[in-house]
């Protein structure tokens, strides 16, 4: 068995072709949550990917510690089947009954969805937050958990109504 040393950050290096890790910036926001018994889709953020990608985990603590909203990723496989995964779901959010994202393929033209938390009056992100994407080359391991970051482009996302 071949041994691969860990990088300084403790992560295993990716063996094979490395791609760029592009950064997506979700701008700060404050959106009134509708009064409802369940979470509601508030905004869509098209990430503009033209190839398969993954999302680096864990997400920033500005997201994971936030109870005011949920995030999901939606994309369509080449066969047309739409997949949706929860990126962030606060414990008290009712709805967003999607499997949890754990490094699955995100297909081209994907959309990050912002969901309300019915237990909160406002969905709020106090400062811009960056999410890192990686290329998806089937290596048996997902760049969502392993890999050395290679700087790519940074795109600030613009929300659209659902």
CA distance 75 to 55: 13
CA distance 46 to 156: 10
Chain centroid to Cα 108, Å, comes to: 14
Residue ranges of domains in the chain: 21-156
pLDDT in tens, 20-68: 568 899 999 999 988 888 899 999 999 988 888 899 889 999 999 999 9
Of 15-19, 24-28, 30-34, 87-91, the poorest mean pLDDT is in 15-19
């Amino acid at each position: 068995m071949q041994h691969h040393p860990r990088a300084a950050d403790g992560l295993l290096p990716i063996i094979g072709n490395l791609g760029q890790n592009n950064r997506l910036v979700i701008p700060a926001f404050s959106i009134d949550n509708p009064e409802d018994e369940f979470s509601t889709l508030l905004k869509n953020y098209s990430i503009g990917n033209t190839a398969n990608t993954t999302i680096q985990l864990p997400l920033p603590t500005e997201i994971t510690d936030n109870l005011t909203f949920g995030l999901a990723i939606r994309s369509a496989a080449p066969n047309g089947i739409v997949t949706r995964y929860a990126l962030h779901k606060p414990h008290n959010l009712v709805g967003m009954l999607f499997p949890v994202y754990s490094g699955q393929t995100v297909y081209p033209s994907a959309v990050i969805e912002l969901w309300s938390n019915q237990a909160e009056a406002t969905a709020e992100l106090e400062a811009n937050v960056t999410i890192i994407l990686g290329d998806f080359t089937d290596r048996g391991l997902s760049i969502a958990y392993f890999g050395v970051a290679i700087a790519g482009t940074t795109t600030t996302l613009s929300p659209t109504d659902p």
